[in-house]
């Protein structure tokens, strides 16, 4: 269970114990920020970019501006934004010395850097794309940006029996349902969400990727057919009191309905488990949880009727998913 003073919980977000709080607008010493070389042109945040500027120089200026905005990875961000604006792979920025920023790309890059540095908008929203498992997903403010640790939910479902019917509750942009359908086309996938805007985005992703997933607009399991063999869920799990400790990227830009879940962050998960206790067809359940929440969620999963409950850690060593199997009748 998350406690005051613990690192902020973000559904699907990597927890970095001891990471410094970012203060919007505060200048930071940031690894990767360029050193000022005597005689080199001053890179002033917001200074106009001339057409025909070489990419190395354009990136250096952007790194300065993004670092001054308080972002943690200014060089990576600048490269991703410029690659997006120029429509090239990031590697080409480093390998093609003749590449220049010119024409409409000048203004587009300045606007993108401004969104990142001043508004602290996540790079994924600016470029409109995020990689998840083997997919490139469209992302925007309608849904949470999928995080790498949520891929554990997909992995947990890869061993399901052929043809199993799977529901991804709180599907957001559809990441978990779509990635699972992509890797296990034999499974019958549905994704549900209480946000119709998120479901629109999920349906757009499904259409673009050519993946067959049914989308259900529902609050938890209300009105959802009682037909599923497995349920996966990355529901909100941030405690309300942790709101102020979230990074500006999350707090200002990601949908609040995807983040917060009551005083201890467990309200949404508890509500789902209460409903699952009455759904006997569900033989397998996998839930993403925040740092410190796994013991409580294990107990609730057992109380909902799952005999075998295990936890799995993410790459940061945090117990990140709780998996229930062996349904008691
Ligand atoms: C943490 S986001 C996860 C999104 C996506 N599954 C992912 O991993 O990227 C939680 C999602 O749950 C949805 N949600 C919140 N409360 C819900 C509820 N009561 N019923 C259904 N969905 C809900 C939100 O709209 C949001 O899309």
Q: What's the pLDDT score for residue 49?
A: 86
Q: What's the pLDDT score for residue 27?
A: 31
Ordered DSSP codes for 288-317: E--TT-HHHHHHHHHHTTEEEEEEEE-TTS
Find out whether the beta carbon of 198 lies less than 6 Å from any atom of ligand 1.
yes
Residues in the chain: 329
> In this structure, are residues 71 and 33 in contact, taking their beta carbons and an 8 Å threshold?
no
Q: What's the pLDDT score for residue 50?
A: 86
- 149 Cβ neighbours under 8 A, 6+ residues apart: 12, 13, 14, 288, 314, 315, 316, 320
Protein residue whose Cα sits closest to atom 12 of ligand 1: 170
Q: What's the pLDDT score for residue 306?
A: 98
Mutating to test ligand 1, I would choose from 193, 223, 256 the residue with most ligand atoms within 8 A of its C-beta, which is 193
Q: Which CATH architecture has domain 141-327?
A: 3-Layer(aba) Sandwich (3.40)
Distance 18 CA to ligand 1 centre (A): 27
Q: What's the pLDDT score for residue 97?
A: 80
Q: What's the pLDDT score for residue 11?
A: 57
| Mean pLDDT over the full length of the chain | 88
Q: Does 319 score more than 60 pLDDT? A: yes
Q: What's the pLDDT score for residue 263?
A: 97
Q: What's the pLDDT score for residue 194?
A: 98
Per cent of the chain over pLDDT 90 is 82
Average pLDDT value for residue range 179-198: 98
Q: Which two tokens stand for residue 135?
A: 């997919």
The CB density around residue 156, as the number of other CB atoms within 10 Å, is 23
Distance 172 CA to ligand 1 centre (A): 5
38 versus 210: which is more confidently predicted?
210
Distance (Å, whole) CA 34 – CA 63: 7
> Class of the 53-119 domain?
mainly alpha
For the stretch 120-162, pLDDT in tens is: 999 999 999 999 999 999 999 999 999 999 999 999 999 999 9
Give the three-class secondary structure for 326.
Answer: strand
Q: Which atom of ligand 1 is nearest to the CA of 233?
A: 6
Find out whether the beta carbon of 175 lies less than 6 Å from any atom of ligand 1.
yes
Q: What's the pLDDT score for residue 307?
A: 97
Find out whether the beta carbon of 11 lies less than 6 Å from any atom of ligand 1.
yes
Average pLDDT value for residue range 107-121: 97
Average pLDDT value for residue range 290-295: 98
All CATH 1.10.8.10 domain ranges in the chain, comma separated: 53-119
Give the three-class secondary structure for 220.
Answer: coil
121 versus 98: which is more confidently predicted?
121
For the stretch 13-59, pLDDT in tens is: 433 333 333 332 333 333 333 333 333 333 445 567 888 889 999 99
Q: Which atom of ligand 1 is nearest to the CA of 235?
A: 10
Q: Does 6 score more than 60 pLDDT? A: no
Q: What's the pLDDT score for residue 48?
A: 78
All CATH 3.40.50.150 domain ranges in the chain, comma separated: 141-327
What pTM did the predictor assign? 0.87
pLDDT band at 61 (very low <50, low <70, confident <90, very high): very high
For the stretch 234-258, pLDDT in tens is: 999 999 999 999 999 999 999 999 9
């Amino acid at each position: 269970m998350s406690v005051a003073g613990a690192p902020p919980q973000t559904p699907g977000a990597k927890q970095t114990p001891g990471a410094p709080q970012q203060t919007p607008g505060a200048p930071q010493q940031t690894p990767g920020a360029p050193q000022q070389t005597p005689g080199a042109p001053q890179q002033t945040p917001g200074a106009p970019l001339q057409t025909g500027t070489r990419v190395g120089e354009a990136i250096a200026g952007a790194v300065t501006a993004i670092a001054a905005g308080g972002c943690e990875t200014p060089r990576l961000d600048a490269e991703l934004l410029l690659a997006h604006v120029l429509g090239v792979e990031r590697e080409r920025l480093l390998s093609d010395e003749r590449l220049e920023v010119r024409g409409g790309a000048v203004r587009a890059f300045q606007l993108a850097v401004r969104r990142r540095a001043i508004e602290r908008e996540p790079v994924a929203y600016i470029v409109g794309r995020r990689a998840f498992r083997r997919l490139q997903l469209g992302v925007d403010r309608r849904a949470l940006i999928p995080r790498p640790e949520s891929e554990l939910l997909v992995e947990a479902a890869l061993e399901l029996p052929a043809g199993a019917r799977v529901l991804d509750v709180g599907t957001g942009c559809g990441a978990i349902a779509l990635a699972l359908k992509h890797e296990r086309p034999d499974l019958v996938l549905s994704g549900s969400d209480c946000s119709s805007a998120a479901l629109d985005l999920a349906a757009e992703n499904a259409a673009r990727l050519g993946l067959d997933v049914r989308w259900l607009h529902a609050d938890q399991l209300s009105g959802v057919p009682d037909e599923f063999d497995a349920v996966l869920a990355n529901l909100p799990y941030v405690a309300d009191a942790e709101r102020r400790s979230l990074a500006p990227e999350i707090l200002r830009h990601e949908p609040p309905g995807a983040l917060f879940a009551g005083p201890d962050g467990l309200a949404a998960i508890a509500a789902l488990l209460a409903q699952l206790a009455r759904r006997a067809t569900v033989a397998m359940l996998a839930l993403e949880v925040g740092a410190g929440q796994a013991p409580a969620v294990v107990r609730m999963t057992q109380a909902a009727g799952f005999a075998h409950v295990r936890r799995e850690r993410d790459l940061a060593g945090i117990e990140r998913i709780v998996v229930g199997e062996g349904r008691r009748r």
